[in-house]
Amino acid sequence: MKNTVENSFPFITRKTPMKNILFVSSSPSGWNSYSHQFASHIVDDLKARHPGAKVVVRDVAKEPLPHVDAAFATGRALPPEKRSPAEAEALALSDILLAELEAADVLVLAVPMHNFGVPSTLKAWIDHVVRPGRAFSYSEMGEQALKNAMASAKAQSEKIVREFAQLDSSPDTTLSGALA
């Protein structure tokens, strides 16, 4: 798997300084999940390349995040000084999660496929960190920063899935099974 990481992420080299790795795991199967095992190999490889890097683990399956509510939705559109106490409280966890993401030099996601989508626990994490003014901003071109990040992540993940499928090509392994 080390070759997979090296080939998939040539821009992450020993020469690239890396201080923080954010590892978000979302499989209720934990270590029994192929996605968790594969993502753990990526984290291990990154730690070997960057021994001084700090790894922050956010396991949203073991510690599910609350889904966003009306106070969150209203509060995220307001400047901090104009938020009610309920809105400020609703955004407090989101601020912590965003600080973890903003501090990360690289984000590693362990994501199983559930019913052709991501687990709701990961969706809750995404809802907390994708906030206008922090994760992206609106412009004439739309949510450009977010679109660029998503396109890059999609291209890299498709390449990893193809390479992972080649690593374990036993007859009883399917691509959907490899992602579970």
Given a cut of 50, the residues of the chain with pLDDT beneath it are 1-2, 147-148, 150-152, 164, 167-180
Question: Looking at the whole model, is its pTM more than 0.75?
Answer: no
Find the domain containing 158 and state its range. 2-179
Q: What is the pLDDT of residues 81-102, one digit of tens each?
A: 999 999 999 999 999 998 998 8
Structural domains in the chain (count): 1
Nearest to 166 by CA among 27, 4, 2, 40: 4
On the 0-12 / 13-18 / 19+ scale of CB atoms within 10 A, 125 is buried
Q: How far is CA 143 from the centre of its chain?
A: 19
Q: What local confidence, expressed as pLDDT, does residue 180 receive?
A: 36
Q: What local confidence, expressed as pLDDT, does residue 74 receive?
A: 95
Angle, vertex CA 67, rays to CA 124 and CA 84, nearest 5: 120
Residue 56: which H helix or E strand, with range? strand 54-59
Domain containing residue 14: CATH number: 3.40.50.360
